[in-house]
Structure 1
Amino acid sequence: MKKTIFGLVTLLSVATLAACGNGGGTSSSGNNSSDNGSGSDLTFPLATTNNDDAIEDGELNVAVATDSQFKGLFQWEFYQDAFDNAFMAPSHEPLFTNDANFTITNDGAASLELDEDAKTATITLKDNVKWSDGEDVTADDVIFPYEIIGHPDYTGIRYDDTFRNIVGMEEYNSGSADTISGITKVDDKTVKIEYKEMNPSMLQAGGGIWTYAAPKHTLEGVEVKDMESSDQVRKHPVTFGPYYMSNIVAGESVEYLPNEHYWNGTPPLKKITMKSLPTASATEALNSKLYDMIFQMPTDTFETYQDIAGYTNLGRPQTSYTYLGFKLGKWDADEGKVAYDPDSKMADKSLRQAMGYALDNNAVGERFYAGLRSNGTTLIPPVFADFHDDSIEGYTLNLDKANKLLDDAGFKDVDGDGIREDKDGNKLTINFASMSGGEVAQPLADYYIQQWKEIGLDVQYTTGRLIEFNSFYDRLENDDPEIDVYQAAWSTGTDPNPTGLWGANAAFNYTRYESEENTKLINAINSSEAFDEDFLKEAYSNWQQYAFEEAFAIPTLFRNEVLPVNDRVRDWDWSYGAPNPWATVTVTSDSRS
């Protein structure tokens, strides 16, 4: 997936995307269990153990638990959320494979070679890689995503510093050049890309190198500004994964048939059907044996499906975290960067820190999520064991410290009503946005508001209630002035690099925070010096410490995801670094038991 932008995830749903961190990133595909990292005794297998013979012409029925319709942006350059990504998984495949540490390997559809001295990356396609319509995947298809994302009329949100780092990209984006000078088609299967600077994220799947191809032969007749709404993206996407999308019912379901041209063998199933499923119906659907697997299964109801006969729960730590974000500015579309406002309502970091110290998120993880979530400490999840700084304790419940921070900063209760005024003695009301969905969305948000009242802060819901997923992110992207603080979640992708989420040029930086020091620390992570492992580890630690102190975003929960799999399913390995499980999964019976 795209580097740090694995997609958006709902607060109470579990992202299946790389997108992005979860717990113990060093487990190999051979391991058969995964500690959930929460401190409880729950352990989960990572792969199925069914060894019965697979049946011919088997069909797999899958669901995605969601309280919102999927948008249907089935193109890597345009998709934004975890739901679309989940539906893309059987059909859309990256160019590169990766190991359990998310480092790119050369076992996929293409290989990657970096030349640090020449500042180039060379991508070479295998000879037998074809699109689902039978056309060859070519160098032109590898180059085309750069021409889409860098185009002045691009409507997506992935044009960021990783693309600006390509020689000639900024000239192309401004319209002053018709081509990207730093990208060269060497031959029909080989592309060379020249960069301004090399950095170790280029070694990570979804990192500094765009890891996808786009079918130029189907899309080149569509204006870039119209691609997002085109049939080629929404109704008839051409892909090179093991299956292709044969029938899409907008917002509801997708059917997949085997891609007879798949480069890595013949897909074994006759058909896959994937449907959206309301989270409230997920457990009953398992009891009724309606599906073989349900992705993004809500962890707040884990105890209701923990022991359902005929299913085995696979589990793994996620490359994601829940967080509180503080609105500190707006997005400047003309400049393509955040515009930080030092006079915004939440600009005083003591106020932000105090709100963090008012919460007991370990208790939240145990009470609301059966121990499947635990207190988040930094903005780099612990699944990235080489980069997560476990010396940072994060924000834990400490009401005395929270009150002192507010007192010292000048937020006093002037009129004696138990509610603090701002530093000028004026009424202070903080507007809080949080998503609806799942059984604990409301009680969890209520708990946060209750705790903030304990330290004298008047926090009210934006719109007076929780907000539906799509509407919530529309408001964040458009910098709704009625949002001062919000609760959301990120799937970081398979590269922990914070540039795409928290950099000054990142559209995903919804807090709109920037500073010279933040940019300096992120630039260190992106520097050529960071190819030195010790330098890189220290650079990540320095940025995590800075983010903790500034508290522009406060991680609240590290997350684990659970995937119920029916016992008739065979050859499904959910480990990070395992080969694409969609290419191998089979069933051993005509019906679910």
Structure 2
Amino acid sequence: MGKRQLMLLISLMLALSVFLAACTGKDDKEDAGKKDPGKDKEKTEETEGEDEEAEAKEELDFPLDVSNTDAVIENGTLNYALVSDTPFEGTLNPVFYSGAPDADVMQFFEEGLLATDGDYLITNEGAAKYEVSNENKTIAITIGDNVNWHDGEPVKASDLLYAYELLGHPDYTGNRYTYTITNVEGMDAYHKGEAEEISGIEISEDDKTITINYIEASPSLMSGIWTNPVPRHYLGDVTKGDVTIDDIIESDKIRTTPIGFGPYKVEKVVPGESVQFVRNEDYWRGKPALESIVLTVVNTQSVLKELEAGKIDIAEVPADQYLNAKELTNVDLLAKVDLAYTYIGFKLGKWDDKAKENVTDPDAKLADKRVRQAMWHAMDNEVIGEKMYHGLRFPATTLIIPVFASFHDADNPGRAYDPEKANALLDEAGFKDVDGDGIREDAEGNEFVLNFASMEGGEVAEPIANHYIQNWADVGIKVQLTDGRLHEFNSFYDMVEADDPKIDIYQAAWGTGSDPDPSGLYGKTASFNYTRYTSEENDRLLAAGTSEEAFDFEYRKGIYDEWQELMVEDVPVAPTVYRYATTLVNKRVANFSIDPGSDNYYPWVWGVTSEDSVK
């Protein structure tokens, strides 16, 4: 995301990074404020065959690390801004959260057992070590010493099992029952209520090692495995009937007093507004650099003033404020291409909650793909990137982002801005202006009006929505805002997830997570597949992309090239722009980087070199 963010945020190198999240309503109303890790610019620039536009954007020269190299003080406090025009939802648990703002909060106290490297692949540098066997169908994860929950209880292998039991529980209604979970042996029977235990997961006698057996080997194991445990002793045991999943979701134990085993403990939560963290003296890596962190929600209109005044130390700043942001002298401006993209979604069906799958309606208002193709061709995304985001956005072509340089098909042009092509496609589909008013009727001669849902957030949210509405009007498609206005982030996603009939098309964004596998967003059983698009070819390609054959790089690349081509042909969504994420950091902050391959990417090493902020 429930509401979902990260869309752009998707996850924090804590292993939250392996999960996707919907973006917030920040700078492009979807939010660029997630903490999803992204590959560094240098690695992206190594990609060959990029089109000229992408190459030009990759040449933007931004630092990834702060300039301050002084020694940090012992008991510093860092002020962190969660930049958002809406409160964070406050579902502070990796199993149940859905929005990037909640992921932003969790990065300081929550983490996965396995660390990941700069390419988002699991390593043995985390709180646990792993070993793969059985021809890549089995992984054993062994928890190290002194890995304790914030209440002092040891983190157990059975706590990671509990996460899987919650994710696969018949009553689970979240968005993360996806391939890496369903591929576990025995998960299907457990999910259907036909078994009380997950047969493919074993716990060692000393409760230090968990062994997970998979139905099929998949390369996603190395970049998409779930390793975030859940404290069974603290939340209560759903499997024994001590609590229900609904009890946990509404509990203060994940809303105001959550625990993790990360570098900082939650000391106080003001719901939706702020969180105070204190140093976890018992952190398994050693004492964190900062004594405390204060996270505060700061709206997009005041974030630069707060930074200039030294009231906040770190903030992901909306790109529409870039020109003013780069004039500040008391901060470092860091930026990199993000693990995210913005898109226009076309509602094509409904979510079947009983069957837990998407059902495409052959009679949907936008069932004719030629109309969807035309609407993509009608959208001038370059203007959005250059004029409204000062070059920090660039036209998107496919649904696998350039950050995944090995799998992004740089030779696929997508559907470039071409009003003539759009008009030709609409003519071919039989959509003609019958009464001469400049607006097309549908193929049966009936009035054709589309309701467009878009989010509040930042100064450019409304201009962008109006820009697209005018683009579509230019080719004779009448589009109007749902309810005549933009919607607040949480209510927007409530409507989109519920397949509200008031929405025909919508604008949102995705944080992709660290695994290039797109099945969690576009699969038949993916609840995040908000368009409800399905097809046999889509099913085939997504399955092939995570199959044992996909360990062969060339095979997997070929499959994902085919899938990107299919999405450009069928257009369940039209990607609009890829993005740079910009972070402003007060010059008193040291040991901070936005490069996921850097040791300074992680909050336990962040520090400040003076008690007072630089102003």
Would the TM-score normalized by the shorter structure come out above 0.5? yes
Alpha-carbon displacement from aligned partner over 1:297-318 (angstroms, at most 9, x marks no partner): 1111111111201100111110
Residue 131 and residue 334 in structure 1: after superposition, are their counterparts in 2 closer, same or farther (change >3 A)? same
Deviations 1:413-453 (A, max 9, x none): 11111111111111100111111110001111101000100
- For 2:383, the equivalent position in structure 1 comes to 363
Any idea what the Cα deviations from partners look like across 1:378-427, whole Å, max 9, x if unmatched? 11110111111100112221111000000011111111111111111111
Question: Do structure 1's residue 210 and structure 2's residue 231 form an aligned pair?
Answer: no
Pick from 401, 424, 427 the counterpart of residue 447 of structure 2: 427
Counting only pairs closer than 5 Å after superposition, residues 23-422 of structure 1 correspond to structure 2 as 39=57, 42-117=60-135, 119-187=137-205, 188-204=207-223, 207=224, 209-220=225-236, 221-295=242-316, 297-422=317-442
Tell me, yes or no, if the aligned pair for 1:23 and 1:36 is still in contact at 8 Å.
Answer: no
Shift of 1:160: 2.5
State the match for 2:18 in structure 1: 3
Whether the 8 Å contact between 1:24 and 1:383 is mirrored in structure 2 is: no
What per-residue deviation string (whole Å, max 9, x for no partner) do you get for residues 452-480 of structure 1? Answer: 00000011111111111111000010000
What's the CA shift for 1:27? 8.4
**What are structure 2's unaligned runs of at least 5 residues?**
1-15, 47-52, 237-241
- Aligned partners of 1:302 and 1:41: how far apart in 2? 17
List per-residue Cα deviations over 1:510-545 (Å, max 9, x = no partner): 000000000001011011000011111111111111
In structure 1, what residue type is equivalent to 2:212?
A: I
Deviates more, 1:13-22 or 1:141-150: 13-22
Cα distance in 2 for partners of 1:586, 1:128 equals 23
Contact 1:157-1:508 at 8 Å conserved across structures:
yes
CA contact (8 A) 2:80 2:312 kept: yes
Aligned partner of residue 105 in structure 1, secondary structure: coil
Alignment match, 2:9:
none
- Following superposition, the deviation at residue 41 of structure 1 comes to 5.8
When structure 1 is superposed on structure 2, of 528-537 and 571-580 the one drifting more is 571-580
Partners of 1:58 and 1:3 lie apart in 2 by 31
Conserved? CA contact 2:248–2:254, under 8 Å: yes
Structure 1 residue runs of 5 or longer lacking an equivalent are 29-34
Q: Distance in 2 between matches of 1:375 and 1:406?
A: 23
Give the whole-Å Cα distance in 2 for the aligned partners of 1:58 and 1:434.
40
Which has the larger displacement, 219-228 or 556-565?
Answer: 219-228
Q: CA offsets per residue over residues 542-561 of structure 1, 9 Å max, x none? A: 11111111110111000111
Q: Secondary structure at 2:18's aligned position in 1?
A: coil
Secondary structure of the equivalent of 1:386? coil
Instruction: State the one-letter code of the partner of 2:244.
Output: E
In the superposition, the TM-score normalised over structure 2's length comes to 0.92
Q: What's the TM-score, normalizing by structure 1? A: 0.95
Q: Which amino acid aligns with 1:487?
A: Q
CA distance in 1, matches of 2:55, 2:105: 27
Task: Return closer, same or farther for 1:539/1:36 CA change in 2, 3 Å cut-off.
Answer: closer
Opposite residue 8 of structure 1, the aligned amino acid is: C
Identity value in percent: 45
Deviates more, 1:466-475 or 1:105-114: 105-114
Distance 1:274 1:264, change over 3 A: same
Q: Which residue of 2 aligns with 1:502?
A: 522
Q: Is the 8 A contact 2:180 2:221 kept in 1?
A: no
Is the 1:27–1:576 Cα contact (8 Å) retained in structure 2? no
**Alpha-carbon distance in 1 for matches of 2:32, 2:40:** 11
* Match in the other structure for 2:533: 513
1:548 is aligned to 568
- Give the secondary structure class of the aligned counterpart of 1:200: coil
Deviation digits for residues 360-382 of structure 1 (CA, Å, limit 9, x no counterpart): 21221010011011001111110
- Please tell me whether the aligned partners of residues 21 and 382 of structure 1 are also in contact (alpha carbons under 8 angstroms): no
Contact 1:59 1:270 in 2 (8 A): yes
User: Per chain length, whose mean CA-contact separation is higher, i.e. which structure has more relative contact order (CA < 8 Å, sep 6+)?
Assistant: 1
Two-structure CA RMSD over aligned residues (Å): 1.8
Number of the residue aligned with 2:546: 526
2:350 aligned counterpart, secondary structure = strand
Q: Does structure 1 conserve the Cα–Cα contact (< 8 Å) formed by 2:380 and 2:471? A: no
Partner SS state of residue 301, structure 2: helix
* Contact persistence 2:67–2:332 (CA under 8 A): no
**Shift in Å, 1:55:** 1.6
1:470 and 2:485 correspond: no
